[in-house]
Chains A and B, each alone.
Chain A
Amino acid sequence: MTAPDIGLEERRQKAQSGSAPLIDADEQRRARRRRNEEIAKYAIPIAVMTLAIWYWDRLVVWNEIEPYILPRPGLVLSTLIEDWGTLSQSLLVTLQITGFALAVAVVGGVGLAVIFSLSRFAEMSFSPFAVILQVTPIVSIAPLIFIYIESRMVGLLMCAWIVAFFPILANTTLGLKSADHNLRDLFTIYRANRWQRLVHLQLPSALPYFLGGLKIAGGLALIGAVVAEYVAGTGGIGSGLAFRILEAGYRLQIPRMFAALILIAITGVIIYATTSLIAHLALRKWHESALKRE
């Protein structure tokens, strides 16, 4: 609304009669900008993504690229639908390995972090192993794992777990140590025992840190599961998406490679969205990271 400039007297009368706008022009402008940003937040990524896919399609058509080099998006989609039987089976396998590895990483990472926080001795003894496991690339450890471990599934799980558990361990360890020092003094004054201190002070303080670690670990578990399968190599009925990509590559079924790739990407996005949602729901009531500024 653009009100014409009115005199002081007139404005005063308007204010007294109650017809003066409750929101001034500046606030209206800001409200409008907020609304536009809210729409743009979704509209812009969708538009750009659509444009990119359209351009990919045009690129293939204009340059007459063969489908075994670069398939058109439509072909990838129809392959995805046609091969859904095989691909969905593999997706399920990859999801199972990722999900299970993440679950074990959460239990193991948090458990180890709690043990570290309770005993400096345990931390000094075992944290070097954790660091070594983390800094050594998983592709170089994986072949050994598959030699020593009979079950392919367990081997894959172990690889995914090794990659995923470290961010949870590192973040939770940091979080357990970062409780407010005055609160720690207060717990001492109230004669809290170790268990009370852990449950009522350290674990809640560590929650935001743990959730940050979980977001990273979710993506890493998927990467670990995929990479380990590349190394494991052998196929069969219980094969994941990574094996489907390898297999399709050998057979020059490029559209199918793309289809499997897209499934992996979507899986990654869904994992990230889920862990972000969990973090938001857990922290929205009290933590700075989840607050909306007024």
Chain B
Amino acid sequence: MVVAPMGERAPILHMREVDKTFNGGIVALEHMSLDVNEGDFISLLGPSGCGKSTALRLIAGLMPPTAGRIEWEGGQGADDLGVVFQEPTLMPWATVEKNVFLPFRLRGQSFGKVRDRIHEVLALVGLEKFHKSYPRELSGGMKMRVSIARALVTNPRLILMDEPFAALDEITRQKLNDDLLSLKAKTGATVIFVTHSVFESVFLSDRILIMAARPGRVIREITVDAPYPRGIDWRTAPEYGVIAREASATLHGALAQTEAAE
């Protein structure tokens, strides 16, 4: 798929100087600004406590910011989202297809009308044969695919992913990274991806926001200029190593500063 240059893509979401303070005065996020455009793949990369999950929860509308603004283009708010959590977060009592049906069901749509769409998305994630299975019959990676299918099924404007592959083994993780990129190419989805893995962020995203803790904040933005589709060639490219090294150095520098400040 041909991705339009950054400047020509339609904007979706603007975060302006967003702060989030929890009771007790703990600053989870400080002065975060971010513009999300259609087709972006943005990674929020940082150690635990850097506010990356908080940023995601703010965007999802699960809590209001303490200060600053989160503005959606068109003004309808965060009602057109897909979300993937660190755990698959499936309903154990429902079959795979009924789990993927959930976003439609909560919009009051009947199963019969969207069955084709559900099966289409299940085919995209390679699980069309498992539509009648229960989550417990699937492996960890397969459960994650169901979770991704559920996030994709409504063709949302924005997909939020909160360390979705952190609990999986390395081999499954790489496979799912590859699959995620091909899904993105097929659907043109816009993704904000939270991770603490440097390599994952460099492999997947076109923009990496590196974050630091105490207070949680964005310290650097790196643009990854490699074209999609990316595969094993990108994983072994010299630029990949350069960017990964740079991101690692930034992360470690910030970590040392945080530790010195204590």
**Distance (whole angstroms) from the CB of A142 to the closest CB of chain B:** 40
Residues of chain A lying within 8 A (CB to CB) of residue B107: 190
| Per-residue contact bits, chain A 183-195, to B (CB 8 Å; 1 contact, 0 not) | 1011111111000
Q: A286-B134, A286-B136 are in contact. Are A189 and B89 (CB under 8 A)?
A: no
* Interface check B230, CB cutoff 8 A: no
- Write the chain B residue with the least CB distance to A183: B89
With A188-B61, A287-B93 known, 14 other A-B pairs at CB within 8 A are A180-B89, A183-B89, A185-B57, A185-B60, A185-B83, A186-B83, A186-B85, A186-B89, A187-B106, A188-B62, A190-B102, A190-B106, A190-B107, A191-B106
- Whether B60 contacts A189 by the Cβ 8 Å rule is yes
B83, B87, B93, B105: the one within 8 Å of A189 (CB): B83
- Whether B93 contacts A204 by the Cβ 8 Å rule is yes
For chain B residues 54-105, which have a beta carbon within 8 Å of chain A? 57, 60-62, 78-79, 81, 83, 85, 87, 89, 91-94, 102-103, 105
- Whether B89 contacts A287 by the Cβ 8 Å rule is no
Residues of chain A lying within 8 A (CB to CB) of residue B102: 186, 190, 200
- Whether A200 contacts B106 by the Cβ 8 Å rule is yes
Residues of chain A lying within 8 A (CB to CB) of residue B105: 196, 200
* Interface check B135, CB cutoff 8 A: yes
B contact set with A: CB distance below 8 Å = 57, 60-62, 78-79, 81, 83, 85, 87, 89, 91-94, 102-103, 105-107, 134-136
* Interface check A285, CB cutoff 8 A: yes
Q: A192-B106, A200-B105 are in contact. Are A182 and B81 (CB under 8 A)?
A: no
Residues of chain A lying within 8 A (CB to CB) of residue B81: 189
A280 to B69: give the CA distance in the assembly, Å: 51
6 pairs, A vs B, C-beta closer than 8 Å: A182-B85, A183-B91, A185-B60, A185-B62, A192-B106, A207-B93
Q: A interface, by DSSP: helix, strand, loop or mixed?
A: helix
A279 to B61: give the CA distance in the assembly, Å: 38
A29 to B107: give the CA distance in the assembly, Å: 55
**Distance (whole angstroms) from the CB of A94 to the closest CB of chain B:** 35
Residues of chain A lying within 8 A (CB to CB) of residue B136: 286, 291
B79, B91, B93, B106: the one within 8 Å of A196 (CB): B106
**Distance (whole angstroms) from the CB of A278 to the closest CB of chain B:** 16
Q: A182-B89, A200-B106, A287-B92 are in contact. Are A189 and B135 (CB under 8 A)?
A: no
- Whether A286 contacts B83 by the Cβ 8 Å rule is no
A182 to B151: give the CA distance in the assembly, Å: 14
Give the number of residues in A that approach B within 8 Å (Cβ atoms).
20
A285 to B61: give the CA distance in the assembly, Å: 34
Residues of chain B lying within 8 A (CB to CB) of residue A207: 93
For chain A residues 201-235, which have a beta carbon within 8 Å of chain B? 201, 204, 207
A286 to B93: give the CA distance in the assembly, Å: 5
Residues of chain A lying within 8 A (CB to CB) of residue B89: 180, 182-183, 186
- Whether A189 contacts B62 by the Cβ 8 Å rule is yes
**Distance (whole angstroms) from the CB of A285 to the closest CB of chain B:** 6
Which of B79, B83, B106 counts the most chain A CB atoms within 10 A?
B106
**Distance (whole angstroms) from the CB of A228 to the closest CB of chain B:** 37
- Whether A189 contacts B91 by the Cβ 8 Å rule is no
A190 to B61: give the CA distance in the assembly, Å: 11
Residues of chain B lying within 8 A (CB to CB) of residue A286: 92-93, 134-136
Residues of chain A lying within 8 A (CB to CB) of residue B78: 189
| Per-residue contact bits, chain A 162-198, to B (CB 8 Å; 1 contact, 0 not) | 0000000000000000001011011111111000100
Which of A183, A187, A190, A204 counts the most chain B CB atoms within 10 A?
A190
Residues of chain B lying within 8 A (CB to CB) of residue A192: 106
A291 to B92: give the CA distance in the assembly, Å: 13
A200 to B60: give the CA distance in the assembly, Å: 21
Residues of chain B lying within 8 A (CB to CB) of residue A187: 106
A125 to B231: give the CA distance in the assembly, Å: 61
| Per-residue contact bits, chain A 1-40, to B (CB 8 Å; 1 contact, 0 not) | 0000000000000000000000000000000000000000
**Distance (whole angstroms) from the CB of A46 to the closest CB of chain B:** 34
For chain A residues 243-294, which have a beta carbon within 8 Å of chain B? 285-287, 291
Which of B57, B61, B83, B92 counts the most chain A CB atoms within 10 A?
B92
Residues of chain B lying within 8 A (CB to CB) of residue A185: 57, 60, 62, 83, 85
- Whether A204 contacts B91 by the Cβ 8 Å rule is yes
A291 to B83: give the CA distance in the assembly, Å: 29
Residues of chain A lying within 8 A (CB to CB) of residue B61: 188-189
- Write the chain B residue with the least CB distance to A191: B79
**Distance (whole angstroms) from the CB of B44 to the closest CB of chain A:** 18
A207 to B94: give the CA distance in the assembly, Å: 13
